[in-house]
Structure formats: structure tokens, C-alpha cells
A = this chain, B = another copy of it.
Amino acid sequence: MPVFLDATAPDFETAFAALLGAKREDAPDVDEAVAKIIADVRARGDAAVFALTAKFDRLALTAETMRFSPEEIEMYCAEVPEGERVALELAAERIRAYHARQMPEDALWQDESGATLGWRFTPVSEAGLYVPGGLASYPSSVLMNAIPAKVAGVERLAITCPTPDGVVNPLVILAARIAGVDEIYRIGGAQAIAALAYGTESIAPVDKITGPGNAFVAAAKRRVFGKVGIDMIAGPSEILVIADAENDPDFIALDMLSQAEHDESAQAILITDSPDLARDVAAAIERRLETLERRAIAGASWRDYGAVITVSDLSQAAALSNRVAPEHLELCVADPMGLSEEITHAGAIFLGQWTPEAIGDYVGGPNHVLPTARSARFSSGLSVMDFLKRTTLAQMTPEALRAIGPAAETLAISESLEAHGLSVRARLDKLND
């Protein structure tokens, strides 16, 4: 049974803290196995990747067949029905337009000392994108990862996507082509992450790896972090809906189930100032769970982690939501933009009853790779910034050095860093000659 809480009840704080603290994911400890796989790929390169792919994916690869050829890509793309192709193209166009606006500005200015200061953004040169195979092989995730990379200016973008028993999802191939991906490899697991990070005879190493994956992929990403950059390690999906009385309970039920159907560890929470709506949404969820295709998964998520909280007013709802810091937040209220200003921690906000979270998963434009497990308190969704880095610029003139150099020398001496101080002093002495 999901949890039903009344925020005005005396024992609410205890129950809410328990809800916040509930551990939803018990990732299996595969770290040792992953360390061995990475060492094997570093030592034997292609040969290790082929052996591991034969073992895990029951697929015999060679240096020639590991990478999809232009002809294969063409063939798979042609298999995608018109409707799906058009939908993918619309999604790609909207995602591209949104992310293009994220491109940051370079800056260069002169300050009152005469020093020139600034920064410049440059793209990561080469990036790798992990795409899961099988059930969780989502073409939408290919767009959401690859398009920001290409908008940022990544020159070489390689995808790895396992094809167990040789089964390929043509939509993934088409999404990669639409997004401008440069290379697609039919490998997966920790061996794919190792190949991207360290390179093999056939796969050049990359500088950054993004994309979701299972426990092996997550452990491998943690291990190669430092050698390459990685994105966040995503946890199970979450949605929090703040709703007033003026809502269709079935809309909200479906929005909550659309996260619950991802994963038995997903979490859907409703916070409302209407006890009637609370009751009606819960009933609508039960009704929808009778027929939903993924009712086993969605039902388990709702039963184990679902929650309905009634509050006295919407500001209280916003305050509770801030403590959850949800990945997805729907504001189904009369003035959603106004209420959004009370939100301090959330991955993505969906405003008003005509904005189901699923719009954001596909065609809204913003990224659907978002911080989970309360990490919206300190991190953001994927963006072009994940594929850019900032180099700071500083140029002193003799006058600027005369103005601020002595302070640097003083601080260097106070930190017992003599050469630091001398590097400034030698120049000041020359200027004073």
C-alpha cells in the first residue's frame, strides 16, 4: 500500500522523514567483476571485447563487424516506419533548439588595474555515449545525450549499444543518425565503457562518457572517472505532483504511473491541498493498474514507494517538495509559474495541467536526463555545459602587476611558497629598474 500522510497531523514529521530516508535501490556489488573486465580490455584490447561480447551477448564480433557500417545504418534506418521517423525528427529539432540556447558566452574585459580578464568555452573533443540494449534501449535517450554533445561542438561522438543475440533496435540507429553520431559499436557492459575510456585497436579513446546503464555500466563509469569525464550515475525515476482541487484525477494518475512503470524502485508522490483529489487520484491509479501493460512494475513501485500527502496550503506543498528535491515536478495548480518561484530544488518543472511529464521525456525540448535520489539539491540535468569546459584568461600589464603584484608576493610568503613570491618580485624589480 502506498503511504497516505496528512501534513497537519502531529506524527507527520516522523513519517515524512522516513519517506525521505527510504532506500529505494540496492545495487548489486559488481565492482570486483567490473575491475577485472576493465583490466582485461586494457591488456588485450579488441580481443577482450570480442570474448566478453561472445560471453554476455552471445554474439561473435570481429574488428570489421564491431562497428555498424554505413550500409547497415542505412538499412536499419529504412526499417523505421514513417510515423516514428517523423516523431523522432520533431523531437530532435525541439531538443536542438532548446539546447542551442544554453550555449554560454565567452567574456573578456579590462578591469581598473589595467589587467585583461575573462574566460573562453571550448568543447570536449571526443565523447562516448552508452546506450543500453534490450528493453531499456530508448531512442529518446540517444537524442537527449547526443544532441547536447553535438550542439556543444563535440567533433567525434561514438555510441556503444549492445545487441544481445544480434538483435538491433532500428529506432536507436535512426536516432543516432538524426543526432549526428559519428560511430556506432555493437558492444555493451563494462567492456564498452573500458573500450571508450582506454581505447582498443579499433576504437579510439574518448574524453567523456555519458549515458545510462545497468549496475555493471555504472560501476565501470565510476572506475574510469578521472581518466575520462562521466555524467551522473542515474538512480530510479521519480515524480512529485503538486495539485490543487481543479484537476482531472485521471491525468494525474497517469502522470504518476508514467514514472512508476519505469522501474519497481521508481517513486511517485502526490501533494495536494484537496483531500478529495487525493482520494480520487489514488482510486484512478488503482483503476489504471488493472489494465496497464506494465502493471506488475508500476504496481510494485506504487505499492512500495508511492505516497499521497495532504497539506493545508500550496506553499506548504512547495516546502515539502524542496525537501524531496524531485527529479520531475508537476505543478498542476491555478498559478503554476507563481508557485514555481517557491521551488528551490527540482530537476525539471512541468507547469499546468496540459504539461504531462511525458512531454518532457520526448518532445518538450529540455533534457530528460535529470538528477535523481535527491541530488537536485546539488546537481542539474544534462546540458551543453556537460560537453564544454571553461578556460580562464588573465593578462597583466606592467601597471597592473605593479598594482596587485605586491599583494600576491605577501600572500605567497605567508604560505611559505618562496618561488611564487620570487616570480612576482623578479618582474617588479625589473619594472622598477
Residues of A within 8 A of B (CB): 83-84, 86-88, 90-91, 94, 97-98, 101-102, 104, 107, 109, 111, 115-117, 119-120, 122, 124-125, 135, 138-140, 171, 207-208, 226, 228-229, 233, 248, 250-251, 254-255, 257-258, 260-262, 288, 292-294, 298, 336-337, 340, 343-367, 371, 373, 375-381, 383, 385, 389-398, 400-401, 404-408, 410-412, 414-424, 426-427, 430
A419 and B257: CB pair below 8 A? yes
Considering the complex of A and B, which 10 residue pairs feature the smallest CB-CB distances, nearest first?
A229-B378, A366-B392, A351-B395, A254-B423, A87-B407, A358-B420, A257-B419, A356-B423, A380-B390, A87-B410
A219 CB to nearest chain B CB (Å): 13
B-side contacts of A415, CB under 8 Å: 138-140
Q: Pick the contact of A394 from B122, B258, B294, B365 — CB < 8 Å?
A: B365
B-side contacts of A361, CB under 8 Å: 408, 412, 420
Docked pose: A115 CA to B94 CA in angstroms: 11
Question: A209: nearest residue on chain B (CB-CB)?
Answer: B378
A258 and B423: CB pair below 8 A? yes
Docked pose: A138 CA to B417 CA in angstroms: 10
Docked pose: A118 CA to B336 CA in angstroms: 14
B348 and A394: CB pair below 8 A? yes
List, sorted by A's number, 29 A–B pairs whose CB atoms are closer than 8 Å: A102-B119, A117-B366, A120-B340, A125-B345, A139-B411, A229-B375, A250-B426, A258-B417, A258-B422, A288-B422, A294-B417, A298-B419, A347-B392, A348-B391, A348-B393, A351-B394, A354-B398, A354-B401, A354-B427, A356-B424, A358-B421, A358-B423, A360-B392, A362-B407, A362-B412, A362-B420, A363-B408, A371-B389, A381-B390
B427 and A356: CB pair below 8 A? yes
B-side contacts of A226, CB under 8 Å: 233, 373, 375
A373 CB to nearest chain B CB (Å): 7
Docked pose: A248 CA to B427 CA in angstroms: 9
Given contacts A208-B378, A408-B362, A416-B135, contact A352 B97 (CB under 8 A): no
B-side contacts of A364, CB under 8 Å: 115, 117, 394, 396, 404
Docked pose: A255 CA to B233 CA in angstroms: 39
B-side contacts of A229, CB under 8 Å: 375, 377-379
Given contacts A261-B418, A294-B419, contact A124 B391 (CB under 8 A): no
A298 CB to nearest chain B CB (Å): 7
B-side contacts of A420, CB under 8 Å: 258, 261, 358, 361-362
The number of times this chain is found in the oligomer is: 2
Question: A260: nearest residue on chain B (CB-CB)?
Answer: B419
B-side contacts of A337, CB under 8 Å: 395
B-side contacts of A207, CB under 8 Å: 377-378
B393 and A340: CB pair below 8 A? yes
B-side contacts of A262, CB under 8 Å: 417
Docked pose: A139 CA to B391 CA in angstroms: 24
A96 CB to nearest chain B CB (Å): 12
B408 and A359: CB pair below 8 A? yes
A426 and B396: CB pair below 8 A? no
B-side contacts of A91, CB under 8 Å: 407-408, 411
A251 and B427: CB pair below 8 A? yes
A417 and B261: CB pair below 8 A? yes
Docked pose: A344 CA to B255 CA in angstroms: 44
B-side contacts of A98, CB under 8 Å: 117
Question: A397: nearest residue on chain B (CB-CB)?
Answer: B354
Given contacts A229-B378, A396-B354, A404-B363, contact A139 B414 (CB under 8 A): yes
Docked pose: A380 CA to B397 CA in angstroms: 26
Docked pose: A426 CA to B138 CA in angstroms: 23
Apart from A358-B424, A362-B420, A363-B408, what 17 extra A-B contacts exist at CB < 8 Å? A86-B407, A91-B411, A101-B107, A104-B104, A207-B377, A208-B377, A226-B375, A229-B379, A337-B395, A340-B393, A348-B391, A351-B393, A358-B408, A362-B408, A364-B394, A381-B390, A385-B385
A94 and B404: CB pair below 8 A? yes
